[in-house]
Amino acid sequence: MSGGAWEAAADLVVVGSGIAGLTAALGAAELGLRVVVVTKDAADAGATTWAQGGVAVVLGDVPGDSVETHVADTITTGAGLCDAAAVASILADGPAAVTRLRARGATFDRARTGALARTREGGHSAFRVIRAGGDATGAEIERALLGAARERGVALLTGQLAVDTLRADDGGVAGLALLDDAGRAGLLRAPAVLLATGGYGQLYASTTNPATATGDGLALALRAGAPAADLEFVQFHPTVLHVPGAGGTGVRPLVTEAVRGEGGVLRDRTGARFMVGVHPLAELAPRDVVAAAITRRLAETGAECVWLDATGVEDVARRFPTVTASCRAAGIDPVREPIPVTPAAHYACGGVLTDAAGRTPVRGLYAAGEVARTGLHGANRLASNSLLEGLVVGARAAHAVAAELAVPRSLPSGAAPARVLAVADRPVVQRAMSAGAGIGRDAAGLAAASDAVEAATGPGTAGDRADVEDAALTLLAAAVLAAAGTRTETRGCHVRTDHPERDDAWQRASLIVTLDNAGRPVVSTNLPAVAA
């Protein structure tokens, strides 16, 4: 015990029990490392469980499709900001990663022919997305990985929020300070910490993300000195269920893009299909294009929502059981009537800057999954690439950790540093971000959002879970607003109404966010080298 806190040690602490975290934990355990997975809620409460569409992967069984085509679709969708080497390497490792996942017990849907069933989503030029349970892919993956982790004896601590990193004399990370549901502190000492905490959809008033998505891992990494990149690229999913008159805020049920992949079409209040003519792929354009077109149509018509007409989709209720259940719970029958939808915050394309094996520039600190920015997504993520990225980078990170642990380090035994947090009220942050940093931003709106968050910010304590989460959101609001204010162009899912065109001067230039000595976000354009 140290200062009243419980204390334990491991070789690797993984924060988060979604696809990236569990894949890394299983890989590390198989390499003989002592692994502890910590997660702040129930093990399956994160975004992985909620993923509907599937896993985008080329397995060689779809005539005409190839890894090269998947790479090309990813880079086109990423709007000039993908790291081409990261894209090629991550997607090339996809088939092996999916084979490992299936060996760990995940079962994917089959077509009548017996081959793996495929669907298509926005930006994909082929039917290459594999799925489970119709539209319950994430739940099946989470079930299989949690089962495999339990079978392997991976230690899983639930109800433990990561509050801060412990630091070593070499400036690197040496473990984590934790806070449990009862407010008890704990210290987990480890030469390696892997963040797999997901995204920060809770920055916005309306999101598809679960309540866990408060950006804790990204905030913790920034405070540990790690740079983040591409934070201005918040992806809005075009179609989440909208119940007219119900306010449309909070955690909203997703209506997977695969509904459009299987023939669903978007209509405005007059019944007209408005995506035809906007993009050659119409409803299956990359989702930044669809979300922006819906937003324009809402402004033009003054309607609260548009409609996704899935009445022509074959056997829609059986094919999309999750979507059908959400619709029916809201009194809408997708078999007979169009589904009211609006866009909502869905995915953070940016995150902790890592290489394609999850290494950050801070020794001992790794990140994988939505919390990380490998360069795969660029300015706009291609649908269903994220589960694949979690599988590939999670597995690679396990090997990177094992290799780094071969070099001994001297780690401290002291307590975690005391920290006072800057905390704004969550609804204030969410309203400010939704008003000023949603789809379509401009300088005045971004500045107003920044002022609103700053005016609402006061001191909080690291001993209170709500304060820790709200401090993460407060910091990330400032970071996203700073990056979005700096990028004076429109690219991917960053739409600046005062700079509506793409500007070649910004081509390939990622914005890097670090913290200054006062803990405030600073934006630069220099990509620091990631430690080998």
Q: Which residues are catalytic?
A: 287
Inter-CA distances, 123 with 283, 286, 375, 384, 385, Å: 10, 4, 17, 10, 11
Helix (H), strand (E), coil (C) string for 113-163 = CCCECCECCCCCCCCCEECCCCCCHHHHHHHHHHHHHHHHCCEEEECEEEE
- Say if CB 25 and CB 14 are below 8 A apart: yes
Phi (first) and psi of residue 239, to 5 degrees: -130, 95
Q: How far is the CB of 385 from ligand SIN (least distance, A)?
A: 7
Q: How far is the CB of 79 from ligand SIN (least distance, A)?
A: 16
Pick the stretch among 190-198, 214-222, 255-263, 402-410 that binds ligand SIN (CB under 6 A).
255-263
Q: Which is nearer to ligand SIN, 371 or 402 (CB)?
A: 371
Contacts of 500 (CB under 8 A, 6+ apart): 490
Alpha-carbon distance of 381 to 375, in angstroms, equals: 10
Q: Which residue has the tokens 């339990």?
A: 150
Pick the stretch among 10-18, 33-41, 382-390, 481-489 that binds ligand SIN (CB under 6 A).
382-390
- Binding string, residues 264-303; x marks residues near ligand SIN by CB under 6 A: ----------------------------------------
Q: Which residue has the tokens 């909620």?
A: 50
Confirm or reject binding of residue 94 to ligand SIN (CB under 6 A): no
Q: Which is nearer to ligand SIN, 190 or 294 (CB)?
A: 294
Q: How far is the CB of 291 from ligand SIN (least distance, A)?
A: 11
Q: Which is nearer to ligand SIN, 257 or 467 (CB)?
A: 257
Indicate the DSSP class of residue 263. Answer: T
Residue nearest ligand SIN, CB atom distance: 53
- Say if CB 53 and CB 382 are below 8 A apart: no
Pick the stretch among 96-104, 198-206, 252-260, 397-405 that binds ligand SIN (CB under 6 A).
252-260
- Binding string, residues 48-77; x marks residues near ligand SIN by CB under 6 A: ----xx------------------------
- Say if CB 48 and CB 91 are below 8 A apart: no
Q: Within its chain, how far is the Cα of 499 from the centroid?
A: 26
Q: Which is nearer to ligand SIN, 15 or 258 (CB)?
A: 258
Q: Within its chain, how far is the Cα of 298 from the centroid?
A: 26
462-491 residues in contact with ligand SIN (CB under 6 A) are none
Q: How far is the CB of 122 from ligand SIN (least distance, A)?
A: 8
Rg (CA), the chain: 22
Report helix, strand or coil for 67. Answer: helix
Count of residues that bind ligand SIN according to CB under 6 A: 10
- Kind of pairing between the strands at 351-353 and 228-229: antiparallel
Pick the stretch among 140-148, 244-252, 253-261, 420-428 that binds ligand SIN (CB under 6 A).
253-261
175-204 residues in contact with ligand SIN (CB under 6 A) are none
Six-digit token string for 489: 């162009």
Let me know if 425 is exposed, middle or buried by CB neighbors in 10 A (0-12, 13-18, 19+): middle
107-136 residues in contact with ligand SIN (CB under 6 A) are 121
209, 386, 430, 510: which one binds ligand SIN (CB under 6 A): 386
Q: How far is the CB of 135 from ligand SIN (least distance, A)?
A: 7
Q: How far is the CB of 194 from ligand SIN (least distance, A)?
A: 22
Q: Which is nearer to ligand SIN, 383 or 452 (CB)?
A: 383
Six-digit token string for 7: 């204390």
Show the DSSP H helices in 262-384 as ranges.
287-301, 316-319, 321-329
38, 45, 117, 258: which one binds ligand SIN (CB under 6 A): 258
Q: Which is nearer to ligand SIN, 50 or 274 (CB)?
A: 50
Q: Which is nearer to ligand SIN, 185 or 323 (CB)?
A: 323
Inter-CA distances, 490 with 238, 292, 414, Å: 18, 11, 47
Confirm or reject binding of residue 256 to ligand SIN (CB under 6 A): yes
Alpha-carbon distance of 25 to 12, in angstroms, equals: 8
Q: Which residue has the tokens 């780094």?
A: 404
Pick the stretch among 290-298, 363-371, 380-388, 507-515 that binds ligand SIN (CB under 6 A).
380-388
Q: How far is the CB of 237 from ligand SIN (least distance, A)?
A: 6
Confirm or reject binding of residue 257 to ligand SIN (CB under 6 A): yes
Q: How far is the CB of 319 from ligand SIN (least distance, A)?
A: 13
- Say if CB 324 and CB 317 are below 8 A apart: yes
333-362 residues in contact with ligand SIN (CB under 6 A) are 347
Indicate the DSSP class of residue 254. Answer: B
Indicate the DSSP class of residue 61. Answer: -
Pick the closest to residue 354 from 401, 314, 317, 316 (CA basis).
401
Let me know if 264 is exposed, middle or buried by CB neighbors in 10 A (0-12, 13-18, 19+): buried
408-427 residues in contact with ligand SIN (CB under 6 A) are none
Q: Which residue has the tokens 């040690």?
A: 9
Q: How far is the CB of 283 from ligand SIN (least distance, A)?
A: 12
- Say if CB 311 and CB 335 are below 8 A apart: yes
Q: How far is the CB of 249 from ligand SIN (least distance, A)?
A: 20
Pick the stretch among 40-48, 108-116, 256-264, 330-338 that binds ligand SIN (CB under 6 A).
256-264
Residues lying near ligand SIN in the complex (CB under 6 A): 52-53, 121, 256-258, 347, 383-384, 386
